[in-house]
Amino acid sequence: MSESKEFLTGLYRDLLTVRLFEERQIEIYALGKVPGHIHSGVGEEAPYAGVFATRKEGDYFKITHRPIGAAAILGMPLKTMFAEVMGKETGNARGRGGVLHLADKSKGMIGFSGTLGCDAGVADGAALSIQMAGTDNVVYTFFGDGTANRGPVYEAMNLAAVWQLPVLFVCNNNQFAISTYASWSSRVEHPAADRAAGYGMPSRAVDGTDVLAVYEAAKELVAGIRAGNGPAVLECRTYRWRGHFEGDQMKYRDAAVTEKWTREKDCVANFGRSLVADGVATEEELSAIRASIAAEIDEAVAFAEASPEPKPEEILQGLYVD
């Protein structure tokens, strides 16, 4: 590996932070501490960690419902994240938005929609701001294989290409749209990357469980975007470890296949092992990283639990600018 130890262990920390956030989300959901539904992204951390490793100051980001823990990579405080997930006053939207709307504007996050894909153009708008300002910044926007079939995604891709906007469209292809196989809902192997050519965009399709493969592909595409060559598409193939929602019995798929993916293609465990094998970090160092993240998450969850509920008499606050 040619990257520095600091970079690689940082990448490991990002992966593991999302993993532990997603796991804790499942726990607090099971305890009845989350008002709505969660969509665990355990196993799908690498597309975010690898892609975000190419970011720089002034870039914008639009994540999705899975994994929302990705917001932590961008520096959104875990306390705020858990508070919003629990619907508390100390969340970013004061408990009014919830799991589908974690966002920290100070970190470049522009928000996202729970009606998947209808926010695709929002990335174009942020990219328009960048283009008007004349910087070499980029908008990173994520969506899944299911959303890759939505019209607004195509409109946003086409407009970005026509206006040559600096957008990296990242498809996290976890192979399932609730129960529907990506291989059924699209006649091409890569529902985002294979269609990019139709809009005149370059694309790459990579193993989304290999964080360095994701990083290298993103780096190449982002370099082109920063150079002013317009948008690009990156598709990362992962596997949705859990159900669409917690409680999903997943009778629509073969448990043996799921077991194989989780055993062989665990992006966090595999990357950790390679760091140790290559002499980049020791088991102890990785354990220390894990312990520090776990402690931060414990503290964040405690903070969120102790936080006040929003007040009914303030329910209209936040609707209009005062």
Partner 1 sequence: MQTTYLQAVGDALREEMRRDEKIVIFGEDVAEFGNIFGLTRGMLEEFGAKRVRNTPISETAIVGTALGASVTGLRPVAELMYADFTMVAFTELFHCVSKWRYMHGPDFRTPLVIRCAMGASNGAGAEHSNCVESLFMHAPGLTIISPSTPYDAKGLLKSAIRSDDPVLFCEHKQLYQTRGEVPEGDYTIPIGVADVKREGKDVTVIAVGLMVRRALEAAETLEKEGIGVEVIDPRTLAPFDKETVFRSLRKTHHAVVVEESTRTGGIGAELAAMLQEELYDELDGPVGRVAALDVPMPYNITLEKTTVPDAGRIAAAVRAQLARN
Q: Using CB under 8 A as the criterion, which residues of the chain lie in contact with partner 1 when the complex forms?
A: 60, 91-94, 96-98, 100-101, 103-106, 110-111, 113, 115, 118-132, 139, 151-152, 155-156, 158-159, 162-163, 317-321
Pairing type for strands 139-144 and 203-207 reads unpaired
Q: How far is the CB of 214 from partner 1 (least distance, A)?
A: 24
Q: Are 121 and 42 in contact (CB under 8 A)?
A: no
Q: Are 157 and 231 in contact (CB under 8 A)?
A: yes
**C-beta of 66 vs 204, nearer to partner 1:** 66
Q: Using alpha carbons, select from 174, 204, 189 the residue that is nearest to residue 43.
A: 174
**C-beta of 124 vs 235, nearer to partner 1:** 124
**C-beta of 255 vs 316, nearer to partner 1:** 316
**C-beta of 168 vs 211, nearer to partner 1:** 168
Question: Strand pairing partners for 235?
Answer: 171, 205
**C-beta of 16 vs 34, nearer to partner 1:** 34
Q: How far is the CB of 82 from partner 1 (least distance, A)?
A: 15
**C-beta of 259 vs 314, nearer to partner 1:** 314
Tokens of 280: 């980049």
Q: Using alpha carbons, select from 26, 24, 119 the residue that is nearest to residue 72.
A: 24
Q: How far is the CB of 58 from partner 1 (least distance, A)?
A: 10
Q: Using alpha carbons, select from 174, 172, 171, 178 the residue that is nearest to residue 157.
A: 171
Q: How far is the CB of 217 from partner 1 (least distance, A)?
A: 24
**C-beta of 208 vs 231, nearer to partner 1:** 231
Q: How far is the CB of 13 from partner 1 (least distance, A)?
A: 26
Give 88-132 as a DSSP string.
-TTSTTTTSS-GGG---GGGTB----SSTTTTHHHHHHHHHHHHH
Q: How far is the CB of 126 from partner 1 (least distance, A)?
A: 4
Q: Are 86 and 308 in contact (CB under 8 A)?
A: no
**C-beta of 86 vs 156, nearer to partner 1:** 156
Tokens of 87: 């619907």
Q: How far is the CB of 321 from partner 1 (least distance, A)?
A: 4
Q: How far is the CB of 100 from partner 1 (least distance, A)?
A: 8
Tokens of 231: 């948008």
Rounded CA-CA distance 141/62 in Å is 5
Phi, psi of 259 (to 5 degrees): -60, -40
Residue 227: count other Cβ atoms within 10 Å of its Cβ: 10
Rounded CA-CA distance 141/123 in Å is 6
